[in-house]
Structure 1
Amino acid sequence: MRTPLGVGVDIVAIPQLEAMLTTGGAAFRQLCWTADELAYCAGSTPRLAARWAAKEATMKALGRGIGAIAPTDIEVAGREGQPPTLRLHGPALAAAQEQEVDLALSMSHEAHLAIAFVVATPRRTGECGRCHLEGGSVGTE
């Protein structure tokens, strides 16, 4: 089922997430972020908040909610100095494949807020450089 266009945006209050991280501890971190995301963020609450916003924005762009897609089914990957990309797994990957969409991601954090914006556009014919293979990357900043 080809989807014409999907968009999602989410904003996170960094101090509120910091309180949740303190209360929830390691179990909360493992429920919400992948091991690679946790390693990349190295405890940086603003970076974790931007990735949480990206997960929520991706769910919205795919027309799905939390529960239908687990937070760890959406992984934000990237290297320092390069745009972030999305790696989809499980139900998130299935939704993107079913809708035949490519995803573009932009995210940022400043002061007490983190924000992410995701656009789902119809996939062009044939395989795209931003494929939705599990573990593959999709999207650019």
Structure 2
Amino acid sequence: MREPDFDVDGWCLDDGEEYHREAPETFWIPSKAAREGLYPGDLAKLIFRIDVGGEDKQVAVERMWVLVRERIPNGYLGILDNNPHAIEENDELWSGIELPFSARHVIDIDTANEKTITIAAEEPRRRWPIR
């Protein structure tokens, strides 16, 4: 399954492991075991790089929570659990859309509860396109 691509989708995910390697004293991330051990209902915080358009090709960077729906080869499928502040509501990147991500993208974790497990089982607002 392809990852989000900035040129194709208008947004992508930054690599949290890379941020941590560059500044290990100031950019904490959960352990690799924790990032690779997520289950449906868990929440993962990811860094989104978003094309906000305009003539000067502005880019916004936002940290948002994603609810894990399922484990897939090389990562997870999740549901965006936040609305980006930098753009207006849309069908491509808004709360409820499905997106793939991997452990290297995870910069924080919140554990599942009954409510998040129920939401993880629901149909997303928009499924991730299989291209």
- State the TM-score, normalizing by the size of structure 1: 0.37
- State the TM-score, normalizing by the size of structure 2: 0.39
Q: Between Structure 1 and Structure 2, which shows a larger proportion of strand residues?
A: 2
Q: Between Structure 1 and Structure 2, which shows a larger proportion of helix residues?
A: 1
- Greater RCO (Cα-Cα under 8 Å, separation 6 or more): 1
